[in-house]
Amino acid sequence: MEWSMAALPPGEKYTLLSDAVVPRPIAWVSTISPDGIVNVAPFSWFNMVTDDPPLVAISINRGKGNVAKDTARNLLEQGECVIHLPSRDDVAQVAASGRNFAPHESEAELLGLPLAPATAVRPPRLANAVLALEGRLWQHIPIGSPVIADHCLIEIVHVYAAESILQDGRIHPEPFNPLMRLGGMDYASIGERFPASRD
């Protein structure tokens, strides 16, 4: 079977791509509004870009009426965030934080997510998260005309990792057990891991 992307409506394009590009890491992002409201939301259109400067990319689709989501708006207005890489144990809270909350509502408060001060940025980190990347907005790329998504390049300025996921000073996949996104409402965790030589 084959698909011409130009012939598909937007919803079917999303479904096809999100079914095909798997597994995707999840950026569980905390930002803060100008009024001091802590927003927490997950995004799976996310990955690393470069190591020098240390950049990651998050694409945040806009909502109805092409209105920017709270995370994108806070990033554009405040310029800072904390990106948490959730583990398998976080799946219920990650999914719940993806619901549509009003801009004046704090997901952290409503979902009972404990917060801790970040080291280098103003938004707090999730105290129970085992891995957190503190970042500053490096570049914003509006996608589409009218804009349908906010593509944000984030420079990572500080990294927090819990001792529980470290082995020999490195983040290790087994104790970390990162949560990943598949198509639809499906998630996954690490299965078999094996090396492969480049020779």
Q: Hey, where are the domains in the chain?
A: 21-182
pTM comes to 0.95
Strands 125-126 and 115-116, by their bridges, are: antiparallel
* Positive or negative: CA dihedral 57, 154, 158, 53: positive
- Which pLDDT value is given to residue 199? 86
Per-residue model confidence (pLDDT) at position 64:
87
Residues of the chain below pLDDT 50: none
Q: What is the pLDDT of residue 162?
A: 97
Polymer length of the chain: 199
Q: Topology of 21-182 in CATH? A: Pnp Oxidase; Chain A (2.30.110)
**Do residues 107 and 41 make contact, with C-beta atoms less than 8 angstroms apart?**
yes
